[in-house]
């Protein structure tokens, strides 16, 4: 079972949030959203999350709230916002009609590019550069989704109540890393390598990570084979893994 409110938080901060990383990783993405002046798009969901994506000189940044945005897209429910992500809802701006050209000609193609990386074909993955970007984007999306599920999904919150304070480092050997900070059973993901952490979960290679994200291999088996390293407070990792199981349900 999943719920639309948790999915809205995942879509906002894990899925749309990964546009930050897409613009870092892909020159094509950077060129697509290069602007003479910053453009900030605010997404405000009734009963759910709100955030602003700012595009400036090919870079994308995400922050909570919609203060100061010059384009505003309101959604009457979490279901409506989730419809934007799955392509069944077309929002109407309540602010920033002069920026509609950016929405149609730059932002929408950027999200289409993200979808291609997030749901690649086998043919796409034969390209080494594409494979690397796809894997990194999936990693960042999943690492953020873990925190959103821990904070909003009832089953996720149950697991979060059993995680002591501290940072869990998730990483791919030779690749990206993220820190999941736990404080009073609330989780927050930082998409950079943490200097200090109490527990570590590291995937042995980019290929292994992608196969795991696709559900092609069994995580428990790979731990046994030594291809997934786990160190530190096992209690933290165990409960993060329980939440990770929920990620697949929401991102399916």
Q: What is the pLDDT of residue 126?
A: 95
Q: How many CA atoms lie within 13 A of 82 on its CB side?
A: 16
The mean of the pLDDT values for the chain is 94
Residue 34: DSSP 8-state = -
Q: What is the pLDDT of residue 108?
A: 94
DSSP secondary structure, 40-107, as one string: EEEEEETTS-EEEEEEETTEEEEEES-TT-SEEEEESSHHHHHHHHHTS-----SB-GGGHHHIIIII
pLDDT digits (tens, 9 = 90+) for 196-222: 999 999 999 999 998 888 878 777 788
Give the 3-state secondary structure of residue 127.
Answer: coil
Distance CA 20, CA 3 (A): 26
Give the 3-state secondary structure of residue 184.
Answer: coil
Write down the pTM of the prediction.
Answer: 0.95
Q: What is the pLDDT of residue 211?
A: 87
Q: What is the pLDDT of residue 36?
A: 85
Residues 6 or more apart whose CB falls under 8 angstroms from that of 56 comprise 35, 38, 39
Strand partners, 169: 179, 200
Q: What is the pLDDT of residue 222?
A: 83
Domains, the chain, in order of start with CATH, read: 4-118 (3.30.1050.10), 124-251 (3.30.1050.10)
Whether 225 contacts 212, CB under 8 Å: no
Cα distances from 83 to residues 4, 138, 252, in angstroms, run: 10, 21, 15
């Amino acid at each position: 079972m999943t719920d639309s409110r948790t999915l809205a938080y995942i879509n906002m901060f894990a899925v749309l949030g990964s546009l930050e990383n897409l613009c870092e990783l892909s020159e094509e993405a950077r060129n697509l959203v290069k602007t003479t002046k910053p453009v900030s798009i605010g997404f405000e969901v009734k009963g759910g999350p709100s955030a602003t994506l700012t595009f400036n000189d090919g870079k994308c940044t995400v922050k909570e709230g919609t203060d100061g945005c010059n384009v505003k897209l309101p959604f009457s429910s979490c279901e409506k916002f989730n419809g934007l992500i799955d392509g069944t809802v077309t929002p109407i701006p309540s602010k920033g009609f002069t920026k509609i050209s950016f929405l149609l000609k730059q932002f929408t193609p950027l999200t289409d590019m993200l979808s291609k990386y997030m749901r690649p074909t086998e043919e796409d993955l034969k390209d080494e550069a594409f494979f690397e970007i796809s894997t990194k984007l999936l990693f960042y999306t999943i690492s953020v989704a873990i925190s959103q599920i821990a904070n909003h999904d009832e089953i996720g919150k149950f697991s979060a109540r059993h995680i002591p304070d501290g940072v869990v480092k998730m990483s791919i050997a030779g690749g990206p890393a993220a820190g999941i900070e736990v404080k009073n059973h609330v989780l927050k993901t930082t998409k950079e390598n943490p200097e200090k952490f109490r527990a570590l979960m590291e995937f042995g290679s980019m290929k292994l990570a992608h196969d795991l994200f696709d559900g092609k291999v069994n995580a428990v088996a790979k731990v046994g084979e030594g291809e997934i390293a786990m160190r530190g407070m096992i209690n933290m990792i165990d409960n993060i893994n329980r939440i990770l199981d929920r990620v697949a349900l929401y991102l399916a």
